[in-house]
Structure 1
Amino acid sequence: MRNRSRFLTLLAAACLAVAGCSGGGGGGGTAQSSAPASGPASAPAGGDTSFPRNETLYTSGTQYGPPSNWNPIREWDYATGTEGLVYEPLFQYDTLKDEFIPWLAESGSWTGDKEYTLKLRQGVTWSDGKPLTADDVVYTFELGKMKSIPYSNLWTFLESVEAVDQHTVRFTFSEPNYQQFSTHLYGRAIVPKHIWEGRSEEEVLDGVNENPVGTGPYTYHSHSEDRMVWQKRDGWWATKALNLDVKPKYIVDIVNGSNEVQLGLLMQNRIDLSNNFLPGIQNLVSGNFGVHTYYPEPPYMLSANTAWLVPNTKKKPMDDAEFRKALAHAIDTKTIVDNVYGGIVVAANPTGLLPQWDKYIDKDLVAEKGFTFDVDKAKQLLADAGYRDRDGDGLVENKDGSKLQLEIAVPNGWTDWMEAARVIANSAKNAGIDITPVFPEYPKLTEDRASGDFDLFINNERQLGSTPWLYYDYIFRLPIQEKQNTTNFGRYENKKAWELVQQLDQTKLDDTQGMTEILSQIQEIQLEEMPVIPLWYNGLWAQMTSSTWTGWPSSQGDAPKNPPVLWRNWIEMGGIYTLTNIRPVNG
């Protein structure tokens, strides 16, 4: 009775925390088991009893609506697991070791300054029994010639891709964009030519692709309004080639409901792996309720992406680098980390580069030109730049004496970001900058940021990957378009910075010294100009229970060291190993 009462009390408290702090942040525990929460450990999510519990992994945290397509080309909304569980990439990318792991490809190398040669692994078959060949790889990459396909930009520097023989593919480039191409090696799902050939551009992009045929360890089983079910298939090539075996016979991914519901399912062991943002999770980890995270103490999670404050550099006073630097010094990020997130996120380095990219940070430069929360410094920068309080209300005016009134926008309902925006506004006001938080609906904010109709907003859309080029392309990409849909939302123009980003792109990934030299020059411009302001690192949200499955990834001891997450685009960045390393408690 005492344990049951304690469980209900903690669950209620945690749900209250969730009710006040859920939403926008998104974007393994220790191997030993601790006392599970009281409740029906054998009962799966939603009361579903159609799958053997010790053979079924219940997950949640990616799907925000009913599964509607199994099309790996639609990287933004395919059913969770379509890429990674069914369709696979040429390589895995280990985010913790910064290594490429041969997957469908046995090897790949630059055989000339503008030529990359790929050797496919032999013995790989599609789930319909047909062999994987070089023609499938060529076909997949040539789909990018269709202008509406998300990776069509690849063909601005890829000249040709050809099958040399059944297991050899040669890529020839007009420009050797080594960094950019590396992201396609693990981020491009290979599709079967014998099934996809003849599809129209509209069908390739928008087709539902029922009954997907892939090379991966799972096939489609079923789906409903609230879940996606995958079933393990016989004959996965990696079992023989790499001695890997996915342990769950079934994976049931539950469509996200409210955070209260998700937390309740996790606490009752009806979800095994939650990749949701769950505020208050630190109380559960420390409360001996059988809930684990990758780190047993703050920040609990690996870092997945950087949250940036994006100023519109086409509007005054955000067009002034000195004002942007003053704003950076005025933001109390520690309060966001400690009070809004309870220590489950980490304050960002002034460059914004994720911890996994630490080796690329010019630490001497950051020590000299980086920023910290310092209200007095912010006030001094404002005064030196001509922003003064002329009417005695405690707030500075523009240089010409006009009112300086700004808005910071985050999506309505993303309550952690909403609270973070309030912290930013309050701390900026202490430095004399008048900022008001506003909360438009997400589609409205998306349109406003694309058209440049905003003052400030928070964004975290660029994820961790194989190269920091990804972040600097996001910050500095030129030319500015009428609609900025994916990069450089702040419309910042610096030709020198963009030239350096392009130089970085054409530097080989194994040339660490060459990369570091270019990155130092980019970071100097970044810290002097502050086109975006790094805030915090969002966590790779992952909460696990060990009542049904054990062997979760963890920072502790000899536990597996890989991302414990099945988010889109993360299964191919180590998430697949979570499925091969876990094992049933009663198996």
Structure 2
Amino acid sequence: MVAAAAFWSATGDAMAGKANDTLVVAFQRGILSADYTFNTKREDIIHSELIDDGLFYIPPDTLKPVPLAAKSAKWIDDTTLDVTIREGIKFHDGSPLTADDVVYTYQWTLNPKGKTRRHKQYKVWIKSVEKIGPLVVRFKLKAPYPLAETSLGRSVPLRKKGAFDAIAKTGEEPRILEINGIGPYRLVKLEPGKQSVYERFEGYYKGSPKGRPAIKTIIIRGIPDWGTQQAEVMRGGIDVMYAVPTDVAESVAATRRAVHTSGPTMRVGFLVIDAMGRSGKDHPLTKLDVRRAMMHAINREAIVKYMVKGRAKVIHAACHPAQFGCPTDVRKYEYNPAKAKALLKAAGYGSGANIDIWAYREKEVAEAIAADLTTVGFKVNLRYVKLTALNKARKDGKIQAYFGTWGSGGVADASAIATRHWLPNDDRNMSGDPKVSEYIVGAERTNDPAKRKALYDNGFKLIAEQVYWAPLYAFTMNYITSTDTAFVAPEDGLLRPYLMKWK
């Protein structure tokens, strides 16, 4: 690590680019801690996939899990999964990966004292983890869980047995600056929030579906200001800008000194509507005709075409079209202001309907939605707040509707969005309809794809019919790359620098 750190100090960002085999990536938020075990942000996922591997891998083209650190997986029954680990996998310190390490990692994740960000998520479905051979681990589930292999992939990076022992003694959430992973790169320098430096791990195991990285050194820089990022990519100080606003991306591309690529992402935007009246009995949005008027009033096509742009597209179901179980034949609501006005009048609101809409991001889009609704007779009070304030207001039952988004963690399965929003008695579920929860929860309690699809069909069609949500659009992801960088946009919008190459 010392040699690599000295290299960086001596060369700085002047070493960016093909000539020096160093790819420099800019994020608005830099990496604060080395261990993704204790973090959740998208940047931390990208960082972790450089230095870590999980048991399974989600390829950017198929988005279906395949064995990674695992050699194979065998279902003994609906709630028992045996995972065999690949031979020859080494940690960055040269020690071999064993079943003991995998068991230790997951037992730490399941332990509430571990303070990991994944504890609640995994405790729900994993009953126990045990070693049944030198390279074989058995997972016992509490109930059938169709996303088990997906969940055993990206979210839990494997750690050497004993890696967290020092943390266990202090009981404090750590700020980790060094890490001993098994991924295709090793972390050689971390300045929290500013920069992190990675070098290709020459001992990375053959046969990994990630492949051997083509680029020797990767640097992630935290640069909050888009203008500064623009200037840096123009002068050759960085090679990749990620999650770039459309206007910034178009401005950079117009210079022809960098390349703008738009790709899909699993994130969708929607209005969550208090149909059950938690925020007040008999407010306008408790009426179905009013909710349908809202759908006909919003010009989603114009929002996508003129504001979001790129690969964004209108959605009709309360899920992403690329997700398993997301139906395409739900009830659709075309943009029709005249029909919206007629529905409002039929519901008894010919002189206008007063509603509150909360939002915490995409302010311009929220304002456009409010303007469309105002045109047909809604009297909108748009409340733009921080996410923490919105979450509290929702929990307290004070929200009639809010503009929300969900990225599903990049998972191409409807459960990644549905389960979190339609559980019974959850404050995110403002439908008041037990049938929705019955269908959605039922789809996650069987491993049979046909049964799951049928249950999701019923659930999402009911949501669309009753307008418990107003689905808006699937987002786009904008990338800027240097002219020397070969890049293909992934299907889930998650940047994978270890797959990038030079032209």
TM above 0.5, yes or no, is yes
Quickly say closer, same or farther: Cα 1:87–1:450, change in 2 above 3 A. Answer: farther
Identity of aligned residues (%): 18
> Which of 230, 233, 241 is the matching residue for 1:266?
233
> Which of 19, 24, 33 is the matching residue for 1:69?
33
Conservation of the 8 A alpha-carbon contact between 1:311 and 1:532: yes
Distance 1:515 1:331 in 2: 31
Secondary structure at the aligned position of 2:451 is classed as: helix
Conservation of the 8 A alpha-carbon contact between 2:32 and 2:192: no
State the 1:193 CA deviation: 1.6
What is the aligned partner in structure 2 of residue 304 from structure 1? 266
> Which of 484, 487, 490 is the matching residue for 1:552?
487
Quickly say closer, same or farther: Cα 1:96–1:249, change in 2 above 3 A. Answer: closer
Say if 2:45 is the partner of 1:96: no
Say if 2:222 is the partner of 1:255: yes
Task: Decide which moves more: 179-188 or 158-167.
Answer: 179-188
Distance 1:241 1:96 in 2: 16
What is the aligned partner in structure 2 of residue 182 from structure 1? 150
**What amino acid is aligned across from residue 409 of structure 1 in structure 2?**
W
> Which of 443, 447, 465 is the matching residue for 1:528?
465
Say if 2:29 is the partner of 1:58: no
Conservation of the 8 A alpha-carbon contact between 2:194 and 2:223: no
What is the aligned partner in structure 2 of residue 433 from structure 1? 378
Task: Decide which moves more: 379-388 or 279-288.
Answer: 279-288
Distance 1:478 1:200 in 2: 35
What is the aligned partner in structure 1 of residue 442 from structure 2? 503
Conservation of the 8 A alpha-carbon contact between 1:246 and 1:579: yes
State the 1:167 CA deviation: 0.8
State the 1:59 CA deviation: 0.7
Conservation of the 8 A alpha-carbon contact between 1:183 and 1:465: no
Quickly say closer, same or farther: Cα 1:216–1:408, change in 2 above 3 A. Answer: same
What is the aligned partner in structure 1 of residue 107 from structure 2? 142
> Which of 187, 191, 197 is the matching residue for 2:159?
191
Quickly say closer, same or farther: Cα 1:440–1:361, change in 2 above 3 A. Answer: closer
Quickly say closer, same or farther: Cα 1:450–1:54, change in 2 above 3 A. Answer: farther
Distance 1:372 1:523 in 2: 18
What is the aligned partner in structure 2 of residue 371 from structure 1? 333
Distance 2:237 2:290 in 1: 50
What is the aligned partner in structure 1 of residue 417 from structure 2? 471
Distance 1:273 1:146 in 2: 38
What is the aligned partner in structure 1 of residue 51 from structure 2? 86
Q: Deviations over 1:242-289 (max 9, x none)?
A: 693223332221213222222232333322111132223564587471
What is the aligned partner in structure 2 of residue 492 from structure 1? 431
Q: Deviations over 1:524-581 (max 9, x none)?
A: 211122222211111233221223x3x3115xxxxxx666743xxxxxxxx2xx5244
Distance 1:209 1:226 in 2: 13
Distance 2:45 2:147 in 1: 27
- Higher strand fraction: Structure 1 or Structure 2? 2
What is the aligned partner in structure 1 of residue 452 from structure 2? 515
**What amino acid is aligned across from residue 553 of structure 1 in structure 2?**
V
TM-score, normalised by the number of residues in structure 1: 0.75
What is the aligned partner in structure 2 of residue 18 from structure 1? none
Give 1:428-467 correspondences, 5 Å limit. Answer: 428-463=373-408, 464-467=410-413
Quickly say closer, same or farther: Cα 1:288–1:438, change in 2 above 3 A. Answer: same
Quickly say closer, same or farther: Cα 1:582–1:140, change in 2 above 3 A. Answer: same
What is the aligned partner in structure 1 of residue 4 from structure 2? none
Quickly say closer, same or farther: Cα 1:125–1:340, change in 2 above 3 A. Answer: same
**What amino acid is aligned across from residue 431 of structure 1 in structure 2?**
V
State the 1:442 CA deviation: 4.3
Give 1:390-405 correspondences, 5 Å limit. Answer: 396-397=352-353, 404=354
Distance 1:180 1:516 in 2: 17
Secondary structure at the aligned position of 2:462 is classed as: helix
Quickly say closer, same or farther: Cα 1:526–1:187, change in 2 above 3 A. Answer: same
Conservation of the 8 A alpha-carbon contact between 2:213 and 2:498: yes
State the 1:291 CA deviation: 3.1
Quickly say closer, same or farther: Cα 1:356–1:266, change in 2 above 3 A. Answer: farther
What is the aligned partner in structure 1 of residue 300 from structure 2? 333
* 5+ residue gaps, structure 2: 1-8
Distance 2:192 2:124 in 1: 40
Secondary structure at the aligned position of 2:227 is classed as: helix
What is the aligned partner in structure 2 of residue 3 from structure 1? none
Distance 1:467 1:459 in 2: 19
Q: Deviations over 1:506-531 (max 9, x none)?
A: 232xx443232112101221112222
Secondary structure at the aligned position of 1:83 is classed as: helix
Q: Deviations over 1:141-177 (max 9, x none)?
A: 2223333533333223322111111111111123112
TM-score, normalised by the number of residues in structure 2: 0.86
Q: How many equivalent pairs are there?
A: 483
Say if 2:168 is the partner of 1:200: yes
Task: Decide which moves more: 328-337 or 380-389.
Answer: 380-389
What is the aligned partner in structure 2 of residue 7 from structure 1? none
Q: Deviations over 1:395-428 (max 9, x none)?
A: x14xxxxxx2x333333xx5xx111111111110
Distance 2:151 2:334 in 1: 33
Distance 2:145 2:210 in 1: 34
Quickly say closer, same or farther: Cα 1:247–1:354, change in 2 above 3 A. Answer: same
Cα RMSD of the aligned pairs, angstroms, is: 2.9
Distance 2:358 2:491 in 1: 34
Quickly say closer, same or farther: Cα 1:257–1:159, change in 2 above 3 A. Answer: closer
Conservation of the 8 A alpha-carbon contact between 2:183 and 2:201: no
State the 1:132 CA deviation: 0.8
Say if 2:95 is the partner of 1:130: yes
* 5+ residue gaps, structure 1: 1-43, 295-299, 390-395, 398-403, 555-560, 567-574
State the 1:51 CA deviation: 6.6
Secondary structure at the aligned position of 1:302 is classed as: strand
**What amino acid is aligned across from residue 139 of structure 2 in structure 1?**
F
Secondary structure at the aligned position of 1:73 is classed as: helix
Conservation of the 8 A alpha-carbon contact between 2:109 and 2:118: yes
Q: Which has the higher contact order (CA 8 A, sep 6+)?
A: 1
Conservation of the 8 A alpha-carbon contact between 2:69 and 2:89: yes
